[in-house]
Structure 1
Amino acid sequence: MFRIICILIGYIIGCFQTAYILGRALQKIDIRNFGSGNAGTTNVIRVMGWKAGVITFIGDLLKGIIVVMLCKLIFPNNPLALLYGGIAAVIGHNWPVFLNFRGGKGIATTMGILLSFDYKIGLICIGIMILIIGITRFVSLGSIIMAIAIPILFSIFWKGNYEILLLGIFLMISALVRHRTNIKRLLTGEETKLGHRSNKQVEEK
């Protein structure tokens, strides 16, 4: 029963799209129709600038934190409840029912979930992502490697809890699925680096 309740809470809150709301409020645009077509931090930076991008990141990060904290209040001492709520928030962010299931890629929300669930895992994942982005300037590559690290870290810090490991694998798969076009572009050398400004109509799906 706790799984269903946390999934419902997480999905509803996850559907709150910071990038979409900022695009409408600041420039009267649907951010999903510009740049990469993604309702997330990186695309907001490219289309609307760093200030809007930072606000988007904070909003999506807090979304993950809020979901985990709510699930913790309702189901204290139940780590599975936190993860089910968190995963549902990522699903809501990526596929929001109120926006025809076109959302973001869930990385900032995933960071918030990890920090709230187990801060050690969260800090390590964020450190990995920052390092990769700092070296390569590819946000997508940093996101992909961070996602791959999640189940590995879960298996280390939550050794023996196979349901938590499976949920970590689900988080990884979700991120990889949402980054499948980025993976193709990375392999072909066509991926855009951080800092490239774009106000063009959608360049990719």
Structure 2
Amino acid sequence: MLFKIGVLIYGYFAGALIQAGYWMGKFNKIDIRDYGSGNAGTTNVMRTLGKKAGIATYLLDAFKAVIADILIHFLIVPHTAIPEMLLFLYCGLGIVLGHNFPFYLKFKGGKGIAASSGVVISLMLFPKYCFMFTVFGIVFFALVARISRYVSLASLIGMAMFFVEFLIWGFLGWLPLNGTDLVEGTVIVFALAALAFIRHRSNIVRLVQGTERKIGEKKN
């Protein structure tokens, strides 16, 4: 339990301190949270500062999870019998919490999609069919975004499908987790998906009302 709590806390600080959208705004002498949607995530950065800034923000926010997990692989895994994937997931949850609720920004950060995608990408390090989480994630996001032109809807469906896929993979025995470890892992993935929906509450309302901003649509 100590290692699980440790990597969760480690993930939180990694997610909070590497707050790419906020620092990208500071580099451009603004607080990104004072512009657009008021969010410190990739989409708002892209709409406010341009495509290059948005892509850089996504890459930094996503790969902070991958880098954190690689460090866990070398520094923590050799010293515990806890399954590596479970440690990755605890760390990932911490990263998303830190990204969404950074302590030094009055707990006002991003919405966690880029950070969550980094957690999904990090699972490619595991054998069998775990690489398919990333493949399906890209496919679902691209298709929904292409058809609906809503980034928020594509993000939410992508996270929901990640949870469904994790359930299926666990049932089929395709994950390096068993018994209570599998249950814990499933709960964490559910929490990641739930956080995405919670952080997108206002987007969901706008989607229902038909007022959500589409890709390429100018703000009125």
CA distance in 1, matches of 2:111, 2:218: 19
Gaps spanning 5+ residues in structure 2: where?
Answer: 124-129, 172-177
| 1:47–1:197 Cα contact (<8 Å) kept | no
Residue 147 of structure 1 pairs with residue 159 of structure 2: yes
Name the CA distance, whole Å, in 1 between partners of 2:216 and 2:71. 35
Q: CA deviation at 1:88?
A: 0.4
2:80 matches 1:79: no
Q: Among 80, 87, 94, which residue is 2:100 paired with?
A: 94
2:185 aligned with 1:183, yes or no?
Answer: no
Counterparts of 1:1-205 in structure 2, within 5 Å, are 1-15=2-16, 16-26=18-28, 28-73=29-74, 74-75=76-77, 77-117=83-123, 118-159=130-171, 161-196=182-217
Looking at structure 2, the residues matched to 54 and 78 of structure 1 have their Cα atoms a distance apart, in angstroms, of 29
Tell me the SS of whatever aligns to 1:103: coil
Q: Bigger relative contact order, structure 1 or 2, given CA contacts below 8 A and separation 6+?
A: 1
Q: Which residue of 2 aligns with 1:203?
A: none
> Residue in 1 aligned with 2:175?
none
RMSD value, Cα: 1.5
Q: Describe the superposition over 1:86-122 as per-residue Cα deviations: whole angstroms up to 9, x where unpaired.
A: 0100000000011110000111111111111243212
How many Å apart are 1:195 and its aligned residue? 2.2
- How many percent of aligned residue pairs carry the same amino acid? 40
Structure possessing the higher radius of gyration over alpha carbons: 2
Q: In the alignment, residue 188 of structure 1 is paired with which amino acid?
A: Q
**TM-score, normalised with respect to structure 2:** 0.86
- TM-score of the pair, normalised by structure 1: 0.92
| Stretches of structure 1 lacking an aligned partner (at least 5 in a row) | 201-205
- CA drift of 1:177 comes to 0.2
